Structure 1
Amino acid sequence: MSSITRLLSILELFSEAKPFLSVEDVAAELDCSIPTAYRYVRELLDAGLLIRFAGGDYGLGPRIIKLDYHLRMSDPLLAVGQPIMRELSDHSGFDVVMSRWYGNELVDTHRETHGAALDLRYGRGRPRPLFLGAAPKAILSTFPKAKLAVLFDEYADEIAQSGLGATLDEFRASLLKIRRAGFYLSRGELENSVSALASPLFTDDSGEAVGSLAVIVPTQRLEFANLDRLVESIQEAAARISQRTRALIESRGAGAITPSHTVARAKRSA
Structure 2
Amino acid sequence: MSSITRLLSILELFSEAKPLLSVEDVGAELDCSTPTAYRYVRELVDAGLLVRFAGGDYGLGPRIIKLDYHLRVSDPLLAVGQPIMRELSEHSGFDIVMSRWYGNELVDTHRETHDASLDLRYGRGRPRPLFLGAAPKAILSTFPKAKLALLFDQYADEIAHSGLGATLDEFRASLLKIRRAGFYLSKDELEDGVSALASPLFTDESGEAVGSLAAIVPTQRLEFANLERLVESIKEAAARVSQRTRGLIESRQSGEVALPHGAARSKRSA
TM band (smaller chain): over 0.9
Equivalent position SS for 2:195: strand
Q: How many residue pairs get matched?
A: 265
Question: 25-34 or 124-133, which moves further after superposition?
Answer: 25-34
Deviations 1:44-97 (A, max 9, x none): 000110011111111101111111011001000011000000000011010000
After TM superposition, the structure 1 = structure 2 runs for residues 245-256 of structure 1, keeping only pairs within 5 Å, are 245-253=245-253
After TM superposition, the structure 1 = structure 2 runs for residues 147-166 of structure 1, keeping only pairs within 5 Å, are 147-166=147-166
Which of the residues 241, 261, 266 maps onto 1:264?
Answer: 261
Q: What is the distance in 2 between the residues matched to 1:87 and 1:257?
A: 27
Deviations 1:222-257 (A, max 9, x none): 000000000100000000000000011112139x79
Q: 1:101 to 1:112 in 2, by over 3 A?
A: same
CA contact (8 A) 1:142 1:209 kept: yes
Unmatched tracts of structure 1, length 5 or more: none
Q: What is the distance in 1 between the residues matched to 2:110 and 2:78?
A: 7
Which TM-score applies when normalising by structure 1?
0.95
CA RMSD in angstroms comes to: 1.7
In the other structure, the counterpart of 2:267 is: none
CA contact (8 A) 1:96 1:216 kept: yes
Which TM-score applies when normalising by structure 2?
0.95
After TM superposition, the structure 1 = structure 2 runs for residues 172-251 of structure 1, keeping only pairs within 5 Å, are 172-251=172-251
Q: What is the distance in 1 between the residues matched to 2:184 and 2:136?
A: 9
User: Moved runs in structure 1, 4+ residues, more than 2 A?
Assistant: 261-265
Q: What is the distance in 2 between the residues matched to 1:262 and 1:160?
A: 47
Equivalent position SS for 2:203: coil
In the other structure, the counterpart of 2:83 is: 83
Look up the equivalent residue of 1:20 and give its one-letter code.
Answer: L
Look up the equivalent residue of 2:260 and give its one-letter code.
Answer: V
Equivalent position SS for 1:209: coil
CA contact (8 A) 1:99 1:109 kept: yes
CA contact (8 A) 1:199 1:213 kept: yes
Displacement of 1:17: 1.1
In the other structure, the counterpart of 1:96 is: 96
Equivalent position SS for 1:118: coil
In the other structure, the counterpart of 2:22 is: 22
CA contact (8 A) 1:77 1:241 kept: yes
Displacement of 1:2: 1.2
In the other structure, the counterpart of 2:31 is: 31
Q: What is the distance in 2 between the residues matched to 1:257 and 1:133?
A: 38
Displacement of 1:262: 5.8
Q: What is the distance in 2 between the residues matched to 1:42 and 1:110?
A: 33
In the other structure, the counterpart of 2:74 is: 74
After TM superposition, the structure 1 = structure 2 runs for residues 82-161 of structure 1, keeping only pairs within 5 Å, are 82-161=82-161
In the other structure, the counterpart of 2:268 is: none
Q: What is the distance in 1 between the residues matched to 2:59 and 2:256?
A: 32
Q: What is the distance in 2 between the residues matched to 1:262 and 1:44?
A: 37
Q: 1:20 to 1:219 in 2, by over 3 A?
A: same
CA contact (8 A) 1:74 1:257 kept: no
Q: 1:9 to 1:218 in 2, by over 3 A?
A: same
Displacement of 1:115: 4.0
Q: What is the distance in 2 between the residues matched to 1:200 and 1:133?
A: 13
CA contact (8 A) 1:79 1:262 kept: no
Query: Share of identical aligned residues, percent?
Result: 87
Q: 1:112 to 1:151 in 2, by over 3 A?
A: same
Q: What is the distance in 2 between the residues matched to 1:24 and 1:120?
A: 35
